[in-house]
Amino acid sequence: MTQDNKRKDRSILITGGAGFIGSNFVHHWCNTYKSDRLTVLDALTYAGNKANLASLENNKNLKFVQGDICDRTLVDNLLESEDIDTVAHFAAESHVDRSIIEPGAFIQTNVVGTFTLLEAFRQRWNNRSQPQSDRFLHVSTDEVYGSLEVDDPAFTETTPYTPNSPYSASKAGSDHLARAYFHTYGMPTMITNCSNNYGPYHFPEKLIPLMCINILLGKPLPVYGDGQNIRDWLYVEDHCRALDVVINKGQPGETYNVGGNNEVKNIDLVEQLCQLMDELAPNLPVSPSKELITFVKDRAGHDRRYAINASKIKNELGWTPQETVEGGLRRTVQWYLANSDWWKPLLSQEYKNYYAKVYS
Ligand code: NAD
Ligand code: DAU
């Protein structure tokens, strides 16, 4: 936790704060900095969910605004009326499989939306005589670095960008814009490139929640290709703590890689989830749930391996992950078991149509 006695209160705009990581970040920030003011700007797309913030409904320091980051007038008004000095920018189209089916929304939100926010913040920052503690944190992904072979060294902050999907290409474009605004205008942008997150409020389309929910419903567990792809898993609370230290202690103009040092093959991860569910869930429709594992057609352009070298944020800002993958997966499975009221309404007709397109 980053607590500093001399710390000045912030008024922070959190874009995408009703999504998975954004909402976990809002919870983290409200618990940690009780006198900061928070404004959440979220369009409530299929991935946004006000229920993620339900327990904070009566928090006087938190304001929720439904709106689009591409709406320049709205963003200008919010920066002004809420006296914003800090932006934590999470809002994005975030799912690779959706970017393969319909890439347009990814360009609009991830590239045009980020540009809109940067321009609005630049105007305000100039009008405010460029205060020293203002920050614009652009939350990005390790996918911009492309794909690793099994023996390659992990991604560092200087690994060349090689995005392979429309999603990662759109995030790469937005990263370049954020970087350029520091280089050209001196605007205090910072970028974080993080590995795969997991934990509470993760939308059902992503690997871990999808497997948890399908086990509970007795549905097939679709593993793409040969299941040997590797991801570096980070518990979402650890990511939020990393973003906290970057906002409070990071250097403007810098990029920080964030990762869990937890490389796991997809098939091994799915088998761990099956074991946890067999242990923790009463009366599963199919048991052992491992029998549900089904190898399906591979994702187009599927990146083989991601791995993050997080030495810079550890050495310069003192951040390290606290949760192990075993502990984090157990907490996550317990959360999905205890919160069927949260995930059941998300299996909407829109979701079923999407599911049929990807898995048929
Ligand atoms: P998410 O899809 O769960 O949430 C995205 C949120 O953004 C939703 O609440 C959605 O309503 C909102 N949004 C979408 N378009 C918008 C628009 N035009 N205007 C305003 N709000 C809009 O995503 P997530 O997994 O929480 O990811 C958040 C950020 O972190 C993204 O930028 C993503 O690229 C990055 N990231 C995610 C991971 C991961 O593992 N999930 C890892 C590294 C980085
Ligand atoms: O690395 C960070 C990225 O992690 C973020 O930038 C993205 O926003 C986030 O969605 C995530 O991307 P991935 O594509 O790695 O996550 P996903 O959960 O979709 O898939 C994880 C792995 O599991 C990947 O190798 C594909 C595989 N997979 C996924 C699904 C949904 C399956 O085998 N079956 C599935 O049904």
Q: By residue range, what is the domain housing residue 179? A: 11-203+233-264+302-324
Instruction: Tell how far the Cα of 251 is from the centroid of ligand 1, in angstroms.
Output: 24
Instruction: Tell how far the Cα of 47 is from the centroid of ligand 1, in angstroms.
Output: 8
Q: Is the pLDDT of residue 252 over 90?
A: yes
Q: How confident is the model at residue 6 (pLDDT cuts 50, 70, 90)?
A: confident
Q: Is 167 a catalytic residue?
A: yes
Integer Cα distance of 313 and 242 in angstroms:
8
Q: Is the pLDDT of residue 269 over 80?
A: yes
Note whether residue 176 is domain-resident: yes
pLDDT in tens, 175-210: 999 999 999 999 999 999 999 999 999 999 999 999
Note whether residue 93 is domain-resident: yes
Q: What mean pLDDT is reported for the chain?
A: 97
Ligand 1 pocket, Cβ-based, cut-off 6 angstroms: 15-16, 18-22, 41-45, 47-48, 68-70, 90-92, 94, 109, 113, 139-141, 171, 194, 196-197, 203
* Sequence-ordered strand ranges (E) for 109-228: 135-141, 189-194, 197-198, 221-224
Q: Is 142 a catalytic residue?
A: yes
Distance of CA 269 to the CA centre of its chain: 19
Note whether residue 169 is domain-resident: yes
Instruction: Tell how far the Cα of 5 is from the centroid of ligand 2, in angstroms.
Output: 40
Note whether residue 223 is domain-resident: no
pLDDT in tens, 333-351: 999 999 999 999 999 999 9
Instruction: Tell how far the Cα of 20 is from the centroid of ligand 2, in angstroms.
Output: 14
* Sequence-ordered strand ranges (E) for the chain: 11-15, 37-42, 62-66, 86-89, 135-141, 189-194, 197-198, 221-224, 230-232, 234-235, 255-258, 263-265, 293-296
Partner residues linked to 299 by β-bridges: none
- Cα Rg of the chain, angstroms: 20
Provide the domain count of the chain. Answer: 1
Q: How confident is the model at residue 2 (pLDDT cuts 50, 70, 90)?
A: very low
Q: Tell me the ligand closest to 47's alpha carbon.
A: 1
Q: Looking up tokens 């970028």, which residue turns up?
A: 191
pLDDT in tens, 94-128: 999 999 999 999 999 999 999 999 999 999 999 98
Note whether residue 282 is domain-resident: no
141 backbone φψ class: left, alpha, beta (φ>0; ψ -120 to 50): beta
Instruction: Tell how far the Cα of 21 is from the centroid of ligand 2, in angstroms.
Output: 15
Note whether residue 275 is domain-resident: no
Q: Is the pLDDT of residue 90 over 90?
A: yes
Note whether residue 216 is domain-resident: no
Tell me if 195 CB under 6 Å of ligand 2.
yes
Contact between residue 336 and residue 262 where contact means Cβ atoms under 8 Å apart = no
Note whether residue 349 is domain-resident: no
Give the pLDDT score at 360. 86
Percent of the chain past pLDDT 70, that is, above it, reads 99
Across the range 68-92, mean pLDDT stands at 98
pLDDT in tens, 122-154: 999 999 887 899 999 999 999 999 999 999 999
User: In this structure, what token pair is assigned to residue 248?
Assistant: 């409070």
Across the range 38-58, mean pLDDT stands at 98
Mutate to test the pocket of ligand 2, among 141, 196, 268, 298 (most ligand atoms within 8 A of CB): 196
Q: Is the pLDDT of residue 1 over 50?
A: no
Q: Which of 167, 181, 201, 306 is catalytic?
A: 167
Could you tell me the CATH number of the domain that includes residue 30?
A: 3.40.50.720
Q: Is the pLDDT of residue 159 over 80?
A: yes
Q: Is 82 a catalytic residue?
A: no
Return the closest-CA partner of residue 144 out of 92, 187, 104, 101. 92
Q: Tell me the ligand closest to 75's alpha carbon.
A: 1
